[in-house]
A and B are shown apart, each in its own frame.
Chain A
Amino acid sequence: MATYLEFIQQNEERDGVRFSWNVWPSSRLEATRMVVPLACILTPLKERPDLPPVQYEPVLCSRPTCKAILNPLCQVDYRAKLWACNFCFQRNQFPPAYAGISEVNQPAELMPQFSTVEYVIQRGAQSPLIFLYVVDTCLEEDDLQALKESLQMSLSLLPPDALVGLITFGRMVQVHELSCEGISKSYVFRGTKDLTAKQIQDMLGLTKPAVPVHPARPAQPQEHPSISSRFLQPIHKIDMNLTDLLGELQRDPWPVPQGKRPLRSTGVALSIAVGLLEGTFPNTGARIMLFIGGPPTQGPGMVVGDELKVPIRSWHDIEKDNARFMKKATKHYEMLANRAAANGHCVDIYACALDQTGLLEMKCCTNLTGGHMVMGDSFNTSLFKQTFQRIFSKDFNGNFRMAFGATLEVKTSRELKVAGAIGPCVSLNVKGPCVSENELGVGGTSQWKICGLDPTSTLGIYFEVVNQHNAPIPQGGRGAIQFVTHYQHSSTQRRIRVTTIARNWADAQSQLKHIEAAFDQEAAAVLMARLGVFRAESEEGPDVLRWLDRQLIRLCQKFGQYTKEDPASFRLSDSFSLYPQFMFHLRRSPFLQVFNNSPDESSYYRHHFARQDLTQSLIMIQPILYSYSFHGPPEPVLLDSSSILADRILLMDTFFQIVIYLGETIAQWQKAGYQDMPEYENFKHLLQAPLDDAQEILHTRFPMPRYINTEHGGSQARFLLSKVNPSQTHNNLYAWGQETGAPILTDDVSLQVFMDHLKKLAVSSAC
C-alpha cells in the first residue's frame, strides 16, 4: 500500500473528498478523544474530465428509509441477480435492465474505480438557465458605464435559450418588461415598502386569475411557463431590446442633496427579484445577480441612513450594540435568502464601492444560496470585470462551470451519523436514521440544498461515531459513506453524482498508531477552521480563539510525545507536525480577527473561506510565499519576517491578494534602470519571473485577487508585513540580531512564542 499521502491525494482526485481521519476510531468515546472530529471536505462537483456520465438512472435500495444507491461496496449475487445494500443490508433484486450482468460484465457503478458515478436523468422537463440581473443605478457615471459594458458582455456569453430578466433600482425599483415593442415598459415599485411575495406577484400580474385548484392534484410549478414571459425572456429573442435597454440605462434621476447618500432600495429590489422568480420558476435553477455600488439606504434592508454625516456601522459599533439597522436588515436578507434557497435560486452579490455596502447584512443571501460574493472598489476595475467574466467561463465540454438547485444527501453506515455541514448550503430538514443529535455546523438533517455551485464549491461535512465502546466492530470492518448530489447541470440536464467511500475502523486503544498515521492534518486544519469561522459568526471573537486553542492543546496532549512537565521533550509526529502552524496563522487570519477589517470585509473573507476547496482554503489560512533571487531558482520560503531580504523578490499569495514585493536592493536596482540595460538582462528576467507567476494565479483564481506590486518601504508592503510571522519585531530585533529579515512593528506573538507556549501547556498536567 502506498503512503497515506498518496492515498489521500488519490481519493481527493477521484472523489473530491478528504477526511480528517482516514482510519476511523471504532467507538464514540474514542472518537471524541481524538479532538478533531471525524469529518470530510467534500467538493461535490469536482471536475472529472475522465468521468463520462452514464446515461441511465441509479439503482436504489428498496428499503424506504435507506434508498442508498448501488455502489462498488455492495455485495452482489450475480447468479440470483441480487445485491445487498452496504448501508442497511437489505437484499435487493436488480431491475430487469440488469438481467445480463455477471462478474465479467459489470455495470460501471459496481467497478471499484467508479466510487464516483454521475448519472444523467432523462425524465422531467428541462428548464433553461435563468439569469436575473438586479442593477443599482445610484452609481457614478463612469462606474455605471463600466457596469453596463460588463452586463452587455455577459449577454453575449449566455446560451441563446437562457432566460434573462432585468431589475434596476435606485430610489425606486423598476422591473423591466423585455418584450415590448415601440416602447420600453417597466413596473415600478416604491423603494420603501416591504412587500410580501404575494403582493409582488399580484403587482407584477404573475398570479393567474383565480382558478379553483383541485386539491387532489398537486400544483404543477411549470404548468404555464409563458406567464413569466414578460419579465424573463430567452436571450435570443430580446437580445437587441435588452442591449438597447442597458444602453439607455441612466443614473438614478432623483436629486441627491448635499450631505446625503443617494436613496438606494436594495432590500426591496432583491425582495422583488426573489418574489418574481418564486412566482414564475419555483424549484428551477436560477441566478439572481445583484450589482450594488453602495449601501442600502432606505426601505426594508436599509443598512445606513441617507445622512452622510452618520457613517456606516463598524465592528466597534456592532460590539457596542450601536448598529441601528443591522439586526432588522439582516433579518430581511435572511428571510429573502431562505425563500430563494427554498426555491432553488441562488443570489450573487457584486459590490463595488470604496466604502462598505452592507455585505455583512446581505451575506446570508450568498452564503445560504451558494451565490458568489464579489467585492471591489469600482465596477471600472479589472478586478470586477474579469471576475464577472470568469463566472461565465466554460469547462472542457463547453458547458458553464455552474450548477443549480442541488441537493446533497449523505448516507452513512450504521456506526456513523452525520452531524452537520458547513458551506454554501441550507438544511432541508430531512430527519433520518443517520442524522446525529449533536450538531456541528448546519445539522439535524441528512440533506442540504445548494442552490448554486461550481466545480470548486466545497463543503465540510461532520460526522459522529455512534458505535458504543462495548460493541466492537469486527476486525477489518469498514465504515461507508455515500454522498448523493442531485443537481441541474448547466446544460439544463438533471444529474445525480454519487460518491461512495469506505474507511477502516480501528480500535483506538490498540491501534492508535494506525489512526495517527492516517491523520490528514491539512484537511483537519481546514475542517477545524470552518468550525471556528462558523462559531465566529455567532460568538465573540475571543471565545472562538480560546476554543481553538483548547482544541489544539488537547490534540497535542493526545498525540504528542513528551515527558510530563518538560516542554523541551515535546515532539509531534510527521502527520501532525504542520497542524499547530496552521492554527497559528488561522488565529491571525481575517476570518477570526476583525481588527483592521470592516464588517463587510470580514463577511467577504468568511464567505470565500466557507466555500473554497482545500488547497485554496489552506492558502487563505497560511499564505504562500515564494522567493525569487539570483541565488537559485524560485522557491517557497517560510511565511516569516526573516524571509524578507534585500536581494529577494517575494511573491505572496493570500488568495485575496497577490503581493509582489521587491527587496530593498532589488528596488534600488530597478530604480536605477538596470533591467533596461542589455548587460543586465538576467535582472530583467528576475523581475519578470514573479510577474509571470502572478499572472498565472490571476488567470485561474475566482474571484480575481487584488494584485499588489510593491517594494521595500512601499505603503502597500503592509499587506505582506501583516501576514508574515513576526519573528522579528521592534521588541526582539536586537535579541535576534544579525541582518536577516525585516522587523515588523507589532505586539503580536510570533510562531516561536506561540509554539513555546503550546508545548508548555501540552506537557503540563494541570489541564
Chain B
Amino acid sequence: MSQQGYVATPPYSQSQPGIGLSPPHYGHYGDPSHTGSPPGMMKPAGPLGAAAPGGMLPQGHPPHGPHQFGQNGAHAQGPPLQRFPGPPPVNSAAPSYAPYSPSTQSSYPSPVSTSSVAQLGTQLSAMHVNSYAANYGPQMAGAQLSYPGGFPGGPAQMAGPPQPQKKLDPDSIPSPIQVIENDRATRGGQVYTTNTRGQIPPLVTTDCTIQDQGNASPRYIRCTTYCFPCTSDMAKQAQIPLAAIIKPFATIPSNETPLYLVNHGETGPVRCNRCKAYMCPFMQFIEGGRRYQCGFCNCVNDVPPFYFQHLDHIGRRLDHYEKPELSLGSYEYVATLDYCRKNKPPSPPAFIFMIDVSYSNIKNGLVKLICEELKTVLEKLPKEDQEETSSLRVGFITYNKVLHFFNVKSTLARPQMMVVTDVSEVFVPLLDGFLVSYQESQSVIHNLLDQIPEMFADSNENETVFAPVIRAGMEALKAADCPGKLFIFHSSLPTAEAPGKLKNRDDKKLINTDKEKILFQPQTNVYDPLAKDCVAHGCCVTLFLFPSQYVDVASLGLVPQLTGGTLYKYNNFQVHLDSQQFLNDLRNDIEKKIGFDAIMRVRTSTGFRATDFFGGIYMNNTTDVEMAAIDCDKAVTVEFKHDDKLSEDSGALIQCAVLYTTVSGQRRLRIHNLGLNCSSQLADLYKSCETDALINFFAKSAFKAVLHQPLKVIREILVNQTAHVLACYRKNCASPSAASQLILPDSMKVLPVYMNCLLKNCVLLSRPEISTDERAYQRQLVMTMGVADSQLFFYPQLRPIHTLDVKSTTLPAAIRCSESRLSEEGIFLLANGVNMFLWLGVSSPPELIQGIFNVPSFAHVNTDITSLPELGNPYSQTLRMIMGIIQQKRPYSMKLTIVKQREQPEMVFRQFLVEDKGLYGGSSYVDFLCCVHKEICQLLN
C-alpha cells in the first residue's frame, strides 16, 4: 500500500563508467544534508529491543501510509533523497565488509574456506574479470552482466593499488526488518477485507484478520503484482514476473470463517458452458436474472432453472449474500459423480507406513522410535470435523532389500507377515487385511508395532531398495481403489539390485561446470514414470530421510516432490538428540489438513493465461495441475503471460479450482477467486508489487531452471532481471535525478537484499564445500513453499534474547541478519523455518546462561543439546515460549543448534547472516546493491 518511492543517491562522483581499466574510485557515504537520523540508534551493540519500531525508520523518511499520499503521489513531495554509495572496489571489499577478516579466520581451523576462496578465484578469473572489465570498459559496453559472486577475484586481476575505503553505513541501505515493521505497524492487528479488486494485502509477516468479501484471502493466493500491465509490451518492458502463489489448502486462523460448502445435489456446480469456470462473484447476471455473463470468457449462459433468482435494483441477485459462490472469494462445492474416477464415489484414503528396517536403522533405535510413536500418533489421524473417528485406513510395510507386508486384520490373533522378494516387479501379496481401520485393528497393530523392532533385531541386512517400496505402496492403494499417502522412513542409498537402484555419483568435479545440473537430476529414469503412476493413482509420497552419508536426495526426492509429498531430512540422526524434531514433523505431517487425488485448474479472464506452474505437482498437459495430494503447507506458483490486451475496466480475474478427495472420502471442489487490476501506467504496476511473492517466484523459477541450465547463467539472469526491473522503474517512473542515484520503487525496496539472499542460497552457489544432498534438499524444499515460508527461509529472523522482557509476551523485535548486529554480550535466536540457532556471545550474561541452560557460565554450556532444558525460571520459560511461537505454523520442525561465539560451529551459523558476505562466496548486501546499481546505470545508458 505504500506508494513511497525509495530513492537513494550515491555521490557517484568519480565512478562514471568509462574510466577504463583503472578501478573506479567511489566517494564515501554521507551527504551531510541528509544525515537526519541518528545513526547511533542502529549501533549493533545497542539495546535494540528497546527501540520502538518508529525509531528504526531510515533517516529522513516520513512515515509511510496511504493516507499520506495521493494515489499518484509517489514523488509529489519530492522524496527525501539519500546518498547511497557506489560499489566499492572489489579488491578491498572483502577485507572491509566480510565479517571475518583473514586474521579472524585463522582462529577457526577451517582450511576449506580460505583455500576454496582462492580456488574459486582462479576458476572464475577468466570469465568474471572479463565481464567485470566489460561493465566498465566503454568499448565493451552492453556485454553480459555479471553476478558479484565472482568479485573475490583478488587483487591480482585488478589494476592499480587498492584504494583505502571508508566504511559504508549499512543502516543507510533499505532494511527488510524496517519494511516488515512498518507494515506491521500500519496494518497489523487490523481487519483486511477483500472487497476491492487489486488491493495489495498486508505482508506475510504482518498479523491481521482477513475477511472474505468476494476475493480469495491472501492466505490462499498472493500475487507478485496486484495490478497487471495492460499489454504484453508493457509487461516485457517492466520484466516484472506476473505470478500468483496459490496455497489452496492454507490453514485459516480460528477467528476467520472456514470455507462454506455449497451442495447443489445431483446437478453439481453451476459452470460456464464455454470455459467451464465455476459460478463466482465475477459472473454478471443479466436479463432479470435469467442469464449470466461469464467474467472469464464473456460467454452468456442461461441460468439453470433451479438456480434462478431475481435481481435487485443494482442488478445483483436477491440471494447474493445467501450464496457463498456469489459473494465470497473462496468456497467449496460438493462434487458429483461426474467428478469422480470411474464415476464411482471414492473410498476413504489410506496412510501406509513404510519403515526401512535395515541394520543401521535397527541399530540406532530409529525403528523402535517410529513404532512407538505410531502407536500414539495413529490416534490422531485427520478426520472431518463432524466425524467421530477418522475414516482413513492404515497399512504397514517394512523393508530392507525385500518388502514385508503385514496383515493386521482385526480378526487375527497375531499379525501376519508376507515377504515379497520379487523387487524387480513388486506386487501386493494380500488384499484383505492390509489396509484397516486403526480403531478396529488397534490391538493387532499394537502387537505388530511391538514386534517389528524385535523381529529385525538380528538382521544384518545393509542394502535397501527404494523405488519398489513406492511402487508397492502405490499398487496397494491401487488394489484398494483409494487414494492415499505413503510415509517412508528411509536412511540409505538404495544399492540393492532392483529398479531404481542408485550408485554414489556425488561428483564434486562437476561443480561449476555446465554439467552441474546433473547433480540435481534423478540418476535413473525410473523415478519419473513412477511418480507419474503415483499421481495417476492418487498416491502421495512423504519421505523421511535419515542419511549418514550421500543418499542422492535428487533421485530419492523426485517422487515425493512430484506427488505433493514432503521431504524431511535428518542428517546423522541420533535418537537421543534428534527424536523430538523428527517426531514433531511426523505428528504434524500425519495430522495436517490434506486433500487427496487432486487436480487443479487455473482459469483466467481473457487476455492472459497461466503458462507455467511450479510446486509439488505433476503435469500431463499444459493446463491440468495434478497432485496426488496437497496439504496446507504446499503452494503452487503460477506464472501468467499475456495473450491479448487487458482492459483496465474488467481487470484480470483468476479462478483456481481444486478438485480433491477429503480425508473421509468425499469428492469436493475448492474454488478460489481473485480479481486484479490492470493498468497501462507502469507506475501503477510498480506500486502494486509484492517483493515477498516476487522472491518466491524467482526462487522457484530459478530452482526449476537449475535442472536444465548452468548455474552461472541462472545467476546472471537473476541479476539481470533485477537490474532490468529496477532500471525500468528508474527510467519510466522515477522523477528525473542524477544518473548515479539508485532509485528503488517502494514496493521493491528490499528486492535487492532478498535477491542477494536467493543468489547466496546454497542451491545457486556452486561450491564443493556444500553437500550435494543438502543442495538438492533445499531446492526441493523451496519448490513447494508459500510466500511466508520462502520469505523466512531466504531472510531468517534474528532476534536478540538478552534484552528479553520476561514479563511481556511480545517477541523481541527482529534485527537485520548481519554480524555487525551481534554483540559479545548478547544472546541471539536465529530461525529460517528449517534451522534454529541460539548464538551465545562470549560475554553473555551469566544469569541468562544460568536461566536458560542451568549451568554457571558460558564455558559450561553444552552445545550438543538440541532442545533447551525445561527450567522453571522466567528466562527459560519465555525463551521457550518465543521459540514455540516462531515454530508455530511452520511446516518443518526446526532443529535447534547452540552456537558459541568463536567456536567452530559458528561457521554454519554465519551462513545465515545473509546480509554479510557469505563464507562460501556470495556478496554482502552492500556489495550486491552496488553491483545492481552499476547494472542499472549500465542499462540506463
Q: Which residues of A line the B interface, CB within 8 A?
A: 172, 174, 177, 180, 182-190, 193, 195, 202-205, 253-255
CA of A343 to CA of B421 in the docked complex: distance in angstroms? 25
CA of A299 to CA of B419 in the docked complex: distance in angstroms? 20
Within 8 A of A (CB), among B441-483: 447-448, 451, 454-455
User: How far, in Å, is B461 (CB) from chain A's closest CB?
Assistant: 9
B448, closest chain A residue (CB) = A183
Binds A, one of B387-395, B429-437, B663-671, B848-856: B429-437
Contact of B414 among A182, A193, A202 (CB under 8 A): A182
B415 within 8 A of A: yes
Contact of A183 among B416, B421, B432, B433 (CB under 8 A): B416
A172, closest chain B residue (CB) = B429
B417 within 8 A of A: yes
Contact of B419 among A185, A193, A202, A253 (CB under 8 A): A185
User: How far, in Å, is B519 (CB) from chain A's closest CB?
Assistant: 32
* Chain B residues within an 8 Å CB radius of A202: 421
Known A187-B419, A202-B421, A253-B430; 10 more pairs at CB < 8 Å: A182-B447, A182-B451, A183-B415, A183-B455, A186-B418, A187-B420, A189-B422, A203-B402, A253-B432, A254-B431
* Chain A residues within an 8 Å CB radius of B419: 177, 185-188
B419, closest chain A residue (CB) = A187
* Chain A residues within an 8 Å CB radius of B429: 172, 174, 188
CA of A386 to CA of B604 in the docked complex: distance in angstroms? 79
A-B contact pairs, 25 of them (CB 8 A): A172-B427, A172-B430, A174-B429, A177-B419, A182-B414, A182-B454, A183-B417, A183-B448, A184-B414, A184-B416, A186-B419, A187-B421, A188-B418, A190-B422, A190-B427, A195-B422, A202-B421, A203-B421, A203-B422, A205-B402, A205-B421, A253-B430, A253-B431, A253-B432, A253-B433
A254, closest chain B residue (CB) = B431
* Chain A residues within an 8 Å CB radius of B447: 182
Q: Which residues of B line the A interface, CB within 8 A?
A: 402, 405, 414-422, 425, 427, 429-433, 447-448, 451, 454-455
* Chain B residues within an 8 Å CB radius of A188: 405, 418-420, 429-430
User: How far, in Å, is A303 (CB) from chain B's closest CB?
Assistant: 22
Contact of B418 among A174, A195, A204 (CB under 8 A): A174
CA of A20 to CA of B901 in the docked complex: distance in angstroms? 106
Compute the total of residue contacts between A and B using a CB distance below 8 Å: 62
B427, closest chain A residue (CB) = A190
Most chain B CB within 10 A, of A190, A195, A204, is at A190
User: How far, in Å, is A734 (CB) from chain B's closest CB?
Assistant: 67
Closest 4 pairs between A and B when the two form their complex, measured CB to CB: A203-B421, A188-B429, A185-B417, A187-B419
CA of A205 to CA of B421 in the docked complex: distance in angstroms? 9
* Chain A residues within an 8 Å CB radius of B431: 253-255
Most chain A CB within 10 A, of B419, B430, B433, B451, is at B419
B413, closest chain A residue (CB) = A248
A250, closest chain B residue (CB) = B432
Contacts A190-B427, A253-B430 hold; do A184 and B417 have CB atoms under 8 A apart?
yes
User: How far, in Å, is A732 (CB) from chain B's closest CB?
Assistant: 64
* Chain A residues within an 8 Å CB radius of B414: 182-184
User: How far, in Å, is B471 (CB) from chain A's closest CB?
Assistant: 13
Contact of B422 among A174, A193, A205 (CB under 8 A): A193
* Chain B residues within an 8 Å CB radius of A190: 422, 425, 427
A200, closest chain B residue (CB) = B421
A185, closest chain B residue (CB) = B417
CA of A202 to CA of B401 in the docked complex: distance in angstroms? 11
A244, closest chain B residue (CB) = B413
CA of A185 to CA of B406 in the docked complex: distance in angstroms? 9
* Chain B residues within an 8 Å CB radius of A204: 421
User: How far, in Å, is B403 (CB) from chain A's closest CB?
Assistant: 9
CA of A180 to CA of B454 in the docked complex: distance in angstroms? 12
CA of A253 to CA of B425 in the docked complex: distance in angstroms? 21
B429, closest chain A residue (CB) = A188
User: How far, in Å, is B521 (CB) from chain A's closest CB?
Assistant: 31
CA of A185 to CA of B448 in the docked complex: distance in angstroms? 12
- Contact assessment for A186 and B451 in the assembled complex, using a CB-CB cutoff below 8 Å: no
CA of A437 to CA of B414 in the docked complex: distance in angstroms? 63
* Chain B residues within an 8 Å CB radius of A254: 431
CA of A182 to CA of B454 in the docked complex: distance in angstroms? 10
B450, closest chain A residue (CB) = A182
User: How far, in Å, is B371 (CB) from chain A's closest CB?
Assistant: 14
- Contact assessment for A186 and B421 in the assembled complex, using a CB-CB cutoff below 8 Å: no
* Chain A residues within an 8 Å CB radius of B432: 253
- Contact assessment for A183 and B451 in the assembled complex, using a CB-CB cutoff below 8 Å: yes
* Chain B residues within an 8 Å CB radius of A253: 430-433
CA of A184 to CA of B419 in the docked complex: distance in angstroms? 11
CA of A255 to CA of B432 in the docked complex: distance in angstroms? 10
* Chain A residues within an 8 Å CB radius of B420: 187-189
A252, closest chain B residue (CB) = B431
Contacts A172-B429, A174-B429, A254-B431 hold; do A186 and B417 have CB atoms under 8 A apart?
yes
* Chain B residues within an 8 Å CB radius of A182: 414, 447, 451, 454-455
User: How far, in Å, is A555 (CB) from chain B's closest CB?
Assistant: 58
CA of A332 to CA of B889 in the docked complex: distance in angstroms? 61
B401, closest chain A residue (CB) = A205
User: How far, in Å, is B880 (CB) from chain A's closest CB?
Assistant: 42
User: How far, in Å, is B444 (CB) from chain A's closest CB?
Assistant: 10
User: How far, in Å, is A520 (CB) from chain B's closest CB?
Assistant: 56
* Chain B residues within an 8 Å CB radius of A172: 427, 429-430
CA of A203 to CA of B426 in the docked complex: distance in angstroms? 12
CA of A190 to CA of B430 in the docked complex: distance in angstroms? 11
User: How far, in Å, is A252 (CB) from chain B's closest CB?
Assistant: 10
* Chain B residues within an 8 Å CB radius of A203: 402, 421-422
A187, closest chain B residue (CB) = B419
User: How far, in Å, is B125 (CB) from chain A's closest CB?
Assistant: 50
User: How far, in Å, is B73 (CB) from chain A's closest CB?
Assistant: 74
* Chain A residues within an 8 Å CB radius of B425: 190, 193
User: How far, in Å, is B448 (CB) from chain A's closest CB?
Assistant: 7
CA of A101 to CA of B425 in the docked complex: distance in angstroms? 69
* Chain A residues within an 8 Å CB radius of B405: 188
* Chain B residues within an 8 Å CB radius of A174: 418, 429
User: How far, in Å, is B442 (CB) from chain A's closest CB?
Assistant: 17
B452, closest chain A residue (CB) = A183
CA of A748 to CA of B800 in the docked complex: distance in angstroms? 111
CA of A182 to CA of B455 in the docked complex: distance in angstroms? 9
* Chain B residues within an 8 Å CB radius of A189: 420-422
Most chain B CB within 10 A, of A177, A203, A254, is at A203
Contact of B416 among A186, A193, A205 (CB under 8 A): A186
User: How far, in Å, is A542 (CB) from chain B's closest CB?
Assistant: 47
A177, closest chain B residue (CB) = B419
User: How far, in Å, is A414 (CB) from chain B's closest CB?
Assistant: 55
* Chain B residues within an 8 Å CB radius of A205: 402, 421
CA of A202 to CA of B429 in the docked complex: distance in angstroms? 18
CA of A185 to CA of B407 in the docked complex: distance in angstroms? 10
User: How far, in Å, is A529 (CB) from chain B's closest CB?
Assistant: 46
CA of A255 to CA of B430 in the docked complex: distance in angstroms? 11
User: How far, in Å, is A540 (CB) from chain B's closest CB?
Assistant: 42
A173, closest chain B residue (CB) = B429
User: How far, in Å, is A133 (CB) from chain B's closest CB?
Assistant: 18
User: How far, in Å, is B511 (CB) from chain A's closest CB?
Assistant: 36
User: How far, in Å, is A463 (CB) from chain B's closest CB?
Assistant: 50
* Chain B residues within an 8 Å CB radius of A180: 417
B426, closest chain A residue (CB) = A190
CA of A203 to CA of B421 in the docked complex: distance in angstroms? 5
CA of A297 to CA of B448 in the docked complex: distance in angstroms? 35
B405, closest chain A residue (CB) = A188
User: How far, in Å, is B474 (CB) from chain A's closest CB?
Assistant: 16
Most chain A CB within 10 A, of B421, B432, B433, B448, is at B421
* Chain A residues within an 8 Å CB radius of B421: 187, 189, 202-205
* Chain A residues within an 8 Å CB radius of B454: 182
User: How far, in Å, is B435 (CB) from chain A's closest CB?
Assistant: 13
User: How far, in Å, is A229 (CB) from chain B's closest CB?
Assistant: 14
B430, closest chain A residue (CB) = A253
CA of A203 to CA of B424 in the docked complex: distance in angstroms? 11
* Chain A residues within an 8 Å CB radius of B417: 180, 183-186
